[in-house]
Structure 1
Amino acid sequence: MSTKILIIDHSDTDYLKIKSILGGYGVLLASDEKTVSAMLDNHSDIKIILLETGLRGTDGMALIRKLNETDRSHGYRVIVLTHQEDENIEIAALKSGAADYIRKSIQTDVLKERIGMHVNLLDYQQEIEQHQHEMDLTFNMIFEQAPIGIGIAFNAFPSTKEDNPFFSINPVYAEITGRSKEELRTLGWASVTHPDDLEENMEKYNRLKNGEISGYSMDKRFVRPDGTVVWVNMLVSPLVLSGNQSYKHISLVQDITKRKIAEENLKESERSKSVLLSHLPGLAYRCRYGRDWDMEYVSDGCYDLTGYRPESLIHSRDLSFNDIIAPEYREILWEEWIDILAKQMPFIFEYEITTADGKRKWVLEMGQGIYNSQGRTEALEGIILDISERKEIENDLRFHLKHDRWTGLYNQSYLESLLDEDMKTSDGKKALIGINLSYLHSLNMIYGFHYTQELIKKLASTLKAYTSQDTLLFKMYDNQFAFYVRNYNDRNELESFCKEIAGTLETALALEQINAGIGVMEIEPHHRKKVDQLLRSLLIASEKAIDNLDDYSYGFFDSRMEEAIIREDVIKRELLQIA
């Protein structure tokens, strides 16, 4: 499409002359304002208007101003045609908005060059405007659709459009703060900033304004109209704006409320974990999988548990954790971990460690393997608790389950369980030797119960001297003791042992002048009696011995005693049937 030129003139001669000179353009003619208006409406490609300032019935300067006020004025240029003596008119035309003037003593080359120059300038201007328009569209699209808040020339304190014409915020900024653009301009960012963050924000903002820093970033809180708080990360940088503007910066804000909540939850979790670990009667750890248990993390409880500082165990700086484990447990512990990790099960094991001062402590380790995507063990994590007190209580309970509280000797219950187990085998000879001190009851009436109990404790200590791995001493019911002898050679050995015991008792009870009986029950291989029958037989043998005229005599349970017991049982049953 060729460029069109509109000539506003009443002279057909001038029109035809100009048309012939500008043959490469489409030249149109209008002789009054009405025609001019019609031409502009019908021809959107008019780029140059040549106006005869002396047009009859028309105020040339007013027409120039009118042409420059139309919606299309940016698409064409107005050039006035003047005479040699019209310098004042030329000046007035330029002031009224004319782009140029050409005197009517028209020279062909000059006219072509002048018109060509203005057409080219107009083309360049339109290209620049188009480019600027596209850039504005791009900027607006980015500004409006950006996923973060953007604020341009956002004033700190209340302002107006006149004070701050460049102020602008995008929809995300408005959404984050919960306020409209005009509300934010009216309030200023200081009034919607959380009071605890305002001092830091103002200090950095003033340093930016004074040119001390080239920008800043910070985490801060905005207070929404409903009183809720939103956390943002804000980045502020200088912005070059035309004119002497007070607000020359751009701010980018991103809502980080969820991240802050997560951080606070993590911080609280770490605090709770720290409190838990600080009160843990032991340590928490993460270590490499290897025989040395090379530690990557050890909690502060390590010192109280082991006597070593955590850093001394990290990466085995001073010693490995394996060095702390009691030697007899090291191989067992390694094998237990191998078995557990192969099954990918939780690990629970009790063992002893040696502390820095050489003492031993019982610990309970509870841990698990950390596996990679291929199922290989990368590390171990867990806790190691001090269970020394629990072990002491367990050992104490275990001791009292087997021992008499007053004398410290093994008790009858333990003897019965031991006999139950030993009677399942026929290895070696076994015998029970019972010491019957039933006459001690008579001393209660004379000296009191406490005296008798102390005497029993004294006798227990005396008799304990005869114990060995195969000769065990037990405190039985009432005022009874019993030796359980294993792996003896023959009856002669038992008789010698009984004589020695009898002599010791005679010496120990010389002042009390009471008798004691010693009964012996040999347990034959594959003995079929129950344990309570054995103990009953032992009691009978010791009572028979105490009934002998000789002091501190002993007697073996034999078949005659067995027959007497059977006869006694038969008589009792017959009497019960008669009754």
Structure 2
Amino acid sequence: MIIKILVVDDSASDRLIIKNMLSEYCILTACDGVEAMQALEEHDGINLLILVLNMPNMNGFQVLESLKKNERFSKLRTIILTNNDELDNEIKGLKLGAVDYIRKPIQFESLKARIDVHVALLRAKQELEQNLDEQAFNFDMIFEQSLIGIAISLGIEPEHSSDTIVKINSMFEQITGRTKEELIKLGWAKITHPDDLEEDLVNFRKLQAGEIKSYTMEKRFIKPKGSIVWVYMIVAALAPPGKIGFEHICFIKDISDRKQIENELRYINEHNRLTGLYNRDYLEARLKNDTKQKKRSKRALIGINLSTVQLLTANFGFLYTQDLIKQAAEALSRYCTDNRLLFQTAENRFLFYLADYKDKKELDDFSKTIEYGLESLFAAERMGGGIGILEIDENQDKFDLDLLMRRLLIASEKSINMSEGGNFKACFYDEELESLINRERDIMEALFAIVADDDSNDELFLQYQPILNLKKGSICCFEVLARLKTQKLGLVSPVEFIPIAEKTKCIIQIGDKVIAGAFYFLNKLKEHGYVTISVSINVSVFQLLRPDFTSRLFEMITAMQVNPENICIEITESAFISDYEIINHIIDKLKDYGLRIAIDDFGTGYSSLAREKELKVDYLKVDKYFIDKLLDTDPDKAITSDIISMAHKLGHCAIAEGVEHKCQLQYLKEHGCDNIQGYFISKPLNEDDAFEFLEGFCCGY
């Protein structure tokens, strides 16, 4: 049976990628609904339709409505492509006749698995239809040799019954880890994971009642020894002529490997790397979901500000203060309940999200519990911190996380000012604290002054962190890092001023100053005889997408007479999610001019590996999360080596960030990592210190 698939997507790159992924099938493409309807009219035998809903000219909903009116397309199976926030569109598409949906950005292993299952269903149905006259299922070859698990049941209940007749292929047995006899005896409900059973049963009852013809879901089966296997499943009703009663067919494909990767990436995206607590992104998702569901229960945020911990860094070192943060996370975790979730929203800040509390007194009492626990923990350090409390308006239909976090920060900063020595004291947010928002305004004013070159005591300066080439044992590059010092606030963290610079669009001018400073440093390197050492410059996506970015950059390179081959541009992995084609085009121009490109924070952006392969970059910077994991994970089980290997297979060099221990260095050497940077080599250095470091550098790492 030749399987014809029509892919309808207004993105030419997505159409091409899907076509390549499904090359074993006959693939037709269309750029909008009008072309799709023309293709369906002109080509007979199209089996599957992969359809984007939001398109120009004629959208996906209009296509579905047209198909529903035409009997000719009654057997056409449609899979819709949606975005993560389009639940209403998914429901509407399914009601209009779609049988499945896939969310963008597309995970292509998931796409391939789903298409394979739908194709298996089509082939099995065709085989069944061809043999209905003989009242038998004569498709043993396709049934037994299929890479998809298949089970056919003529019973009506998910539990075993004596009159149930089933046909199960060997792949179904292999995936579930049970023999045909065990499966018949137990029934599918007993081997389904309890968390998935309710959804499965609801869908199954709808199938029995004739409300739906089929359903799909990702679910878990429990194997005999208690292990879990994730499957993508399609269940469809069978109604051969002359038969009375309910019959159905079930297809499953093992997706455990893909689920493990998804769960690891989701964990990285939703948790803090140091402590494993939920992060700000997950807090935003939780608040958004609760607000959308219009939960009117009392909700509040309690923020713990430990910014004073960093004062200990100068005396005891970075690792010492990191360990204190870990201890604080463990201590606070003891107070978590179902209605009291703990988050780490910044390096030195924790937050409790409380729901269904009684009154303000309960918040005050809980804050005192936190105060006592933290004071005990930090007693030896003779240092305190701040605790801010913010009640969320029960009647608001929308929320602004930035505003909530800013108000909570204001309350916790006020708390720090109220505390003495090693004390913690909670402070409720109120309107009087609004004046503390001036902090952000002070930073904005400092940035504006720096951009305008006004005479002020506010300063933007650069530091340089060495990058070591492991194969040569020599320093090959310095990463250029921007720092801000203001007259009013002193040193301001990049985590604080960079988002403000981006929000105010100052990042454009700030970025130009950073690039100019980096080129000045590069020329000084050349003057000192270090002609092979490069500089690596972080570029914001706001800079990168500026229409004249490349032309201005090339003008600066010419004007300052630097070698473009000694320049590397770092772009965060997350930047490629929304503007992939534009950024890839910019990368082409930079590469053609001689510059090198690195993807920063690789492994945390949840990007498509298929697209990663198309990027013409030189380096993948392995995120510090994976390097830290080497300290508490069996080296043989760590996936860091797989990321390095993957980078090499994609044609890129691998740079490990955040190397702080000798055991990490040894592991990276053994697994072929190209370059490393981190405190084990050197902290970020001022210009003079950087040259002093080079003069005294020893190749004994």
Give the number of the structure with larger relative contact order, counting CA–CA contacts within 8 Å between residues 6 or more apart: 2
TM-score normalised by L of structure 1: 0.45
